[in-house]
Amino acid sequence: MSGFFEEVKRRKVYQAAVAYLIAGGAIIQLASAAFPAWELPNWALRLVIVLLLIGFPITLILAWAFDITAQGIKAAPTTGAVGSHMRRNVITLVAAGVVVSAAAGFFLLPRVSAHKVDKSIAVLPFESLSDEKENAYFADGIQDDVLTNLSKVGDLKVISRTSVMPYRGKTSNVREIGKALGVGAILEGSVRRVGNRVRVNVQLINADTDEHLWAEDYDRDLTDVFAIQTDLAQQIVRELQAKLSPIEKAQIERRPTENGEAYLAFVEAHELFYRQDGMLRANTEKAEQLFERATELDPKFAGAFAGLARVHDWAYHDFDKTPERKEKARAAAETAIRLQPDLPEA
C-alpha cells in the first residue's frame, strides 16, 4: 500500500485534490450568494454541488494520468509497476475519490440551500429631532413617503403604516419587532428640519441578527427631500435584492410636486387627518384647509387632491351628510385620477 501512496505523491495527485477542493468550495460559496439574486431555484445550487462531486474522482484520474509541464500537458511517466499492480492502484484511487465525494455529498446536499434574502421590511416611525415640536409632522411625512415608495415595488413585502405606528417612541428590541411584524428587515431613522435644511439619518437593520445592512446620513435643502426619498427606496431595494421594474423605478423617481410649500401643507394635512387624539372633527377641518392650500399652490399636485377627496368623503360620512360635500369628494377624486391615473391613493 505504501507504493500506492508514493505513486500518488509522485504524480502530484495530492496537489490536484487540494486545489480542486478549494476551488469547489469557492464555487459553492459564490453560487450560494449569487443564485438568489438571479432568482434561481434551490435545485440549481444542488446541481452545481452534484457536478462538483462527480468531477472530484475524474480530477484524481486525470491528475494520475497526466502532468502539466512547461511544454504542456503530457502523459505521466510510469514506473516499474505494470499489469495488475497498476490496475489496482487506479481502482484504489477511483474508489477513494468516490468515497470522498459520497461523504461530502451526504454532508452537503441535505443541508445546503441557496441563501434566501428576506424581502420583507417594516419602516418604523422616524424620530423628529427638530427643535420646533410643530415640525414633528414632517418626520412622519418622510416616513410615510418612504413607505409609500417601497410599497410600489412588487417584489417587496412592506408592512402597513397602521401596523408600525404603535412602535413610535418605543425602545423595543429590533429582533422582537421583526418577529412581531414578520419581517426580515427594519428601517429606522430620524429627521431634523431647520428652516429650509433637512437632515435625515437612516439605518437598515437585519431583524434576525440585529446587524446593520446599510446606513446613510442625508443633509440637503428642503427642495431635495424627494431626492432623499427616492435614493432611500432604491438603496433599500438594492440591499434586499428585490427586482425593480422600469415602471416601478419611474414611479419611485416621480416627484409629487415641485412646490416645497405645497408639500409641507400636504404632509401636515396628512398627519392631522390620520391623528387619533379625540379631536377628529377639528383635525379633519384643519386638514381640509391644508389640502386645499396644497392644491392652490400646485394645481397639478395629484396627491393633494386625493387627500382632499378622502377628507371630504370622511366628513360626508361622519358629520356633514350634504350633497355639496359628496360632490366635493367626487370632484377631488376625479381630479386626482385625471392628473395621475396610477396614483395609489386615488
pLDDT one-digit tens code per residue, 293-308: 999 999 999 999 999 9
Looking at residue 278, its pLDDT comes to 41
Beta strands per DSSP E along the chain: 66-69, 72-75, 120-123, 127-128, 157-158, 185-194, 197-206, 212-221
- What pLDDT score does 295 carry? 96
C-beta atoms surrounding 7 within 10 Å: 21
Residues 214, 292: one domain?
Answer: no
* pLDDT, mean of residues 145-172: 89
* Opening angle at CA 290, ends 287 and 294, nearest 5: 135
Q: Are residues 301 and 341 in the same domain?
A: yes
Res 17: pLDDT: 84
Q: How many domains does the chain have?
A: 3
Please give the backbone phi and psi of residue 73, each rounded to the nearest 5 degrees, phi first: -85, 125
Instruction: Report the mean per-residue pLDDT for the chain.
Output: 84
Does residue 263 sit in the same domain as residue 248? Answer: no
Shared domain check, 169 and 182 = yes
Same domain, 49 and 143: no
Count CB neighbours of 212 within 10 A: 10
Q: Are residues 35 and 17 in the same domain?
A: yes
- Domain range for 276 is 257-346
**One domain for residues 6 and 96:** yes
Residues 225 and 309 occupy one common structural domain: no
Residue 203 and residue 322 in one domain? no
Write down the pLDDT at residue 3.
Answer: 62
Query: In terms of domains, do 240 and 265 share one?
Result: no
Average pLDDT for 311-335: 93
Looking at the structure, tell me whether residues 104 and 147 fall in a common domain: no
Check if the beta carbon of residue 229 is closer than 8 Å to that of residue 145.
yes
From 236, 255, 274, give the residue that closes a domain: 255
Mean pLDDT of 232-255: 90
**Together in a domain, 213 and 202:** yes
Burial string for 126-142 (b: 16+ CB within 10 Å, else e) reads bbbebeeeebbbbbbbb
- Give 57-105 pLDDT, tens digit per residue: 888 888 777 776 656 566 666 655 555 566 777 787 778 888 888 888 8
pLDDT at 62: 83
Residue 183: which pLDDT band, with cuts at 50, 70 and 90?
very high
- pLDDT-derived band at 33 (thresholds 50, 70, 90) equals confident
- pTM of the model as a whole: 0.63
- Give the CATH number of the domain where residue 201 resides: 3.40.50.10610
Taking only the tens place, the pLDDT of each residue in 197-212 is: 889 999 999 998 899 9
β-strand partners of 200: 191, 218
pLDDT band at 170 (very low <50, low <70, confident <90, very high): confident
**Residue 333 sits in a domain of what CATH number?**
1.25.40.10
